[in-house]
Amino acid sequence: MTREMTIAEKLKELQTEINGICASVGRDPKEVKVLLATKTVEPARIMEAINAGYRLLGENKVQELKAKAEPLAAANPEWHFIGHLQTNKVKDVLPHIKVLHSLDRLSLAEELHKKLSQQGKTLEVLVQVNSSNEESKFGLPPEEIIPFTKQLKDFPTLKVKGLMTLALFASEEEKVRPCFKIMKSLFDQLKAENLPHAEMKELSMGMSGDYKTAIEEGATILRIGTKIFGHRQYPDTHYWPPKNS
Ligand SMILES: *Cc1c(COP(=O)(O)O)cnc(C)c1O
């Protein structure tokens, strides 16, 4: 007789696997956090994960985040925004999030800084890198990352904590690994710059299909959805609209 594993069981299995991968490459598993990508997952199932000890949650649509923030508020999760953020949605997302993973343009930095200044608040941000170049339309190309990150000093409400990438949709290891290596290289270069506004602590990369490779290449935040919550009803393109929307 077989039954489906519970969310808590799947999380336990994932954690065991993460610990094993870390051990194999000599990393401390405490350096690798699991951020649950909760798009399309209803609050009751997200609660199961929170009760199992996982409180870092990521959404990539502002409406969906707003809808879930209230029913889950009592559990006090830490929300990260991981999708493309339209400038006109900044005011709606700011009340809910601790970290924005998808900073990819100066106009967005300007709008964030404007709203944050008015509210006397700061926000942790990751700069999104298009590490696979032609394969994905999201994030800035690698060669723009260092100058862009330096420019962010003009927006003192933004606390740069690191870099994020969405690798490829087709997770073939030999194609994904070079993307992660580019990320680690940019991360190390920025760290060496010692920019006061860019602390460089987090490397957000790796999803259900490629987290093993991501850990091996230095990820500190894995964004995991399908592996814990099962397959989604919508194609992922539904969540990753074109860059200029
Ligand atoms: C959905 C999503 C993930 C998780 O993807 P899975 O393949 O379901 O693990 C990670 N990052 C972002 C930005 C996402 O939208």
Any domain includes 234: no
Is 208 a domain residue? yes
Ligand 1 pocket list (CB less than 6 A): 37, 39, 60, 82-83, 166, 207-209, 223-227, 239
Residue ranges making up the domain that contains 205: 7-228
Give the tens place of pLDDT for each residue, 204-237. Answer: 999 999 999 999 999 999 999 999 999 887 766 6
Domain-located, residue 238: no
Token code pair at residue 193: 């710059």
User: Distance from CA of residue 62 to its chain's centroid?
Assistant: 15
Residue 92 lies in a domain: yes
pLDDT band (50, 70, 90) for residue 245: very low
Q: Is residue 22 part of a domain?
A: yes
Give the pLDDT of residue 23.
98
Q: Where are the alpha helices (DSSP H) in the chain?
A: 7-25, 43-51, 62-72, 90-93, 106-119, 142-151, 173-193, 211-216, 226-229
Tokens 């032609």 locate to 134
Residue 84 falls inside a structural domain: yes
Residue 242 reports pLDDT greater than 90: no
Q: What is the pLDDT of residue 173?
A: 82
Q: Is residue 85 part of a domain?
A: yes
For 127-158, how does the pLDDT look when each residue is reduced to its tens digit (9 = 90+)?
A: 999 998 766 668 999 999 999 999 999 999 99
Residue 80, domain CATH: 3.20.20.10
Q: What pLDDT was estimated at residue 171? A: 63
Expressed in angstroms and rounded, the spacing between residue 235 Cα and the centre of ligand 1 is 11
pLDDT at residue 135 in the model = 62
Average pLDDT for the chain: 93
pLDDT digits (tens, 9 = 90+) for 10-31: 999 999 999 999 999 999 999 9
Nearest Cα residue to atom 10 of ligand 1: 223
Among 46, 60, 61, which residue has the most ligand 1 atoms within 8 Å of its CB, making it the best to mutate? 60
What's the CA-to-centroid distance between 61 and ligand 1, angstroms?
12
The Å distance, Cα 225 to ligand 1 centre, comes to: 6
Flag whether 1 is in a domain. Answer: no
For residue 102, the CA-to-ligand 1 centroid distance in Å is 13
pLDDT in tens, 164-180: 998 766 668 888 999 99
Q: How far is the CA of 236 from the centre of ligand 1 (A)?
A: 8
Contact (CB, 8 A) for 220 and 33:
yes
* DSSP state for residue 53 in the 8-state scheme: T
**pTM: predicted TM-score of the whole model, two decimal places:** 0.94
- Dihedral (C-alpha) 145, 157, 165, 148: value to the nearest 10 degrees? -10
Phi, psi of 202 (to 5 degrees): -120, 140
Number of domains in the chain: 1
- At position 169, the amino acid (one-letter code) is F
